[in-house]
Structure 1
């Protein structure tokens, strides 16, 4: 089992200067290694037999890989002696980041999902220093001993759990200072799987929205806080202040820092709201069902700002982690017609987005639109087919007869999120 804990770091002036120097050196090295990858890809991505008749054939060279770029770090320290100050494993982690960013762009991750084209990092954009290996006894009281840094003081607001070993340490620069993230592992905890069968009694359906943050199948509503929209006036003034400063001056840097602190405050408010909501939801059911939303697709619409302000994607990922820690199950269902179908009779009742009350002309059910969707989500997670509920066999046969020949009837409705207990991550503030 692996968890992570974050602490506030309190380095002295010399240590701050060294951290900033390391970050700048790592940023330059990251851009150099990424440039090597792009140069090779631009000149070798087309096969020789696919080139036009008249073209420039570049000199063939070996493809830069993680291991080849890693081997060149020894020559790097000879050519540029100032890189000797940076620990070797920290430089190797920089090579690993370049390789990971480039491979996710070309091939995608393990699920085949590709990322955008990696970008060169501007000044101040490289913010983390990762130490892949640290000593087991590196933490003493409120000090941690890191390679080439010595003892650095940090605010130990919570003790390290018993039985956990420190695997990695990471220094992160944020708007309000520096933070230490420790990755802890407990090898005595075996990997377990959660085998809970969703039933009507132990399942809770939730429907995410923008009018209310979420509505449960029991009718409870959680109001949406809109932290970003509430702070837009302050944000506008800070952005105007940044634009009026001369770029690179001390007053410009001060204004940028104030702007960063404002964004950080909004992010922390949203994070606290998410965890408080998750705690209340997990106390009401062993199985939590929600829609499998295409958040990126929805964010391309006019509702982009509201969707990002609500933080649906972050909320669902945090919900999955916390549910796994609590031994509970998260079930994703197909969102098709969950808000249009009636939760009482199962018939489709078309309605516009502005209609917030679900009135069924067939069974007479009158209920809040979002609660009706949450009940449908719950029924899908349990295994009920909400689109054919309470329909007679005659109507079902008539619908099948109208279906064009060769079309498949029915589609998978439920997606159970896979559980990987060795990837557990606890965010500690």
Structure 2
């Protein structure tokens, strides 16, 4: 599985370079005149373009393929040129290209441009077919049967849609997505059936203020004195080791495992708090507040004529944050 992650990372980065080169050649560099033949030539040598070096640009029905579909059709040529990619399941390679498609969709929606993957950001792969579960054993194509901790058994009527294998600091985890079209929609209570309501307000000094007067404290798993000291010691040990050395990798692994334990405690605490809240009442009312936006510093406003500062709403933000910290609950 470690080898798979290395090869998938290389394939992802190559596909991203291929699309960047396609854009540069097609929309920026454009056509040019060949000196010898004195004819217009177009230097389109990438995979994700028509008449490229590899990949089929058109379907049998005459419709043009997208960039991701062209790169998926080029996977057999990749396996011929790089035989070691035959050890990876074909659906895993296809999902790797679709992950790049999703990154470009996010970019077109206004998010950041897709970035190249490294060992810390490429830590998972997905199967879509061929997965079987039998008790505490799971079968993954090309990886065969292996034991795993089955935290929740899969009902017999459900169908496995996809399986994601994710590498974390303390080992590999398996996420199984299941589906059953026969399951009815979860029933929603009518207003006449709701007898009790609890209101929740997020605070800064406390985690949640409840309308019944109860308060849930912030656990501070990562910001208490002992944890901060241990994290500072482990980080110092990493910085003292030589870069790209085996000892530095071992020290980084210890730091990552320490941070993973903190994240596990925080996630478990969130589930415990959610279970405690849903037992309070039949319905829950939440306040729609942008806490992160309220904590940001407002941009200064200037008077164009005099150059003096104008009110920018910072005082209102400070007053709202102060009220969130002082209010014992919502009534």
Answer whether TM exceeds 0.5 for this pair.
yes
Counting only pairs closer than 5 Å after superposition, residues 152-231 of structure 1 correspond to structure 2 as 152-192=146-186, 194=188, 196-197=190-191, 201-230=195-224, 231=227
* 1:142–1:156 CA contact under 8 A, matched in 2: yes
Q: Is the 8 A contact 2:204 2:324 kept in 1?
A: no
Q: Which of 259, 264, 270 is equivalent to 1:263?
A: 259
RMSD over aligned Cα, in angstroms? 3.0
Q: CA deviation at 1:131?
A: 0.8
User: For the Cα contact (< 8 Å) 1:169–1:183, is it kept in 2?
Assistant: yes
Provide closer, same or farther for how the CA distance between residues 296 and 47 of structure 1 changes in structure 2, counting only shifts above 3 A. Answer: farther
Per the alignment, residue 89 of structure 1 pairs with 91
Verify the 8 A CA contact 1:89 1:132 in the aligned structure 2. yes
Deviations 1:246-274 (A, max 9, x none): 12212111111111111111111111111
Q: 1:24–1:124: 8 Å Cα contact kept in structure 2?
A: no
Matched residue of 1:75: which SS?
helix
Asked whether the 8 Å contact 1:134–1:168 carries over to 2, the reply is: no
* 1:25 correspondence with 2:27: no
Distance 1:164 1:115, change over 3 A: same
Q: TM-score, normalised by structure 2?
A: 0.76
More RCO (CA 8 Å, sep 6+): 1
**Aligned CA distance change for structure 1 residues 133 and 299 (closer, same or farther; 3 Å):** farther
Q: Which residue of 2 aligns with 1:284?
A: 280
Distance in 2 between residues matched to 1:119 and 1:243, nearest whole Å: 26
SS in 2 for 1:227: coil
Q: 1:146 to 1:117 in 2, by over 3 A?
A: same
Mapped contact 2:198–2:210 kept (Cα < 8 A): yes
The structure 2 residue matched to 1:65, chosen from 64, 67, 78, is: 67
Sort the Cα spacing of 1:153 and 1:352 in 2 relative to 1 into closer, same or farther, 3 A.
closer
Deviation at 1:39, TM superposition (A): 2.7
- Is 2:123–2:166's contact at 8 Å kept on the other side of the alignment? yes
What is the rounded CA distance, in whole Å, between the counterparts of 1:370 and 1:291 in structure 2? 15
* Counterparts of 2:186 and 2:29, CA distance in 1: 48
Equivalence map 1:264-343=2 (5 Å): 264-294=260-290, 296-298=292-294, 300=296
Match of 1:387 in 2: none
Residue by residue, what CA displacement relative to the aligned partner does 1:365-394 show, whole Å, maximum 9, x if unpaired?
A: xxx6252xx33xxxxxxxxxxxxxxxxxxx
Q: CA separation of 1:117/1:299 partners in 2, compared to 1, >3 Å: closer, same or farther? A: farther
Q: Does 1:369 align with 2:327?
A: yes
Contact 1:134 1:167 in 2 (8 A): no
Give the C-alpha shift of residue 161 in structure 1: 2.9
Quick check: 1:37 aligned with 2:33? no
- CA contact 1:134–1:166 (8 Å) conserved in 2: no
Instruction: Please give the alpha-carbon distance, in whole angstroms, between the structure 2 residues aligned to 1:86 and 1:204.
Output: 51
Aligned mate of 1:132, from 128, 133, 149: 128
Partners in 1 of 2:324 and 2:173 — Cα distance? 45
Q: Deviations over 1:205-248 (max 9, x none)?
A: 10001211110111110011111212222111111111111122
Distance 1:201 1:43, change over 3 A: farther
Map Cα deviations across residues 9-40 of structure 1 (whole Å, 9 max, x no partner).
xxxxxxxxxx1111100000011111222233
2:306 corresponds to which residue?
none
Q: Is the 8 A contact 2:215 2:328 kept in 1?
A: no
Q: 1:165 to 1:353 in 2, by over 3 A?
A: closer
User: How far off is 1:140 after superposition?
Assistant: 2.2
Q: Is the 8 A contact 1:26 1:94 kept in 2?
A: yes
Task: Give CA-to-partner distance per residue, 1:162-195, whole Å, 9 cap, x none.
Answer: 4222222222111001112222222320234635
Q: Deviations over 1:320-367 (max 9, x none)?
A: xxxxxxxxxxxxxxxxxxxx9xxxxxxxxx95744679xxxxxxxxxx
Residues 1:47 and 1:254: Cα distance change in structure 2 (over 3 Å): closer
Q: Which consecutive residues of structure 1, in runs of 5 or more, have no partner in the other structure?
A: 1-18, 49-56, 109-113, 303-339, 341-349, 358-367, 376-429
8 Å CA contact 2:294, 2:321 repeated in 1: no
| Distance of 1:353 and 1:170 partners within structure 2 | 41
Distance in 2 separating the partners of 1:269 and 1:98: 32
Is 1:150 paired with 2:119? Answer: no
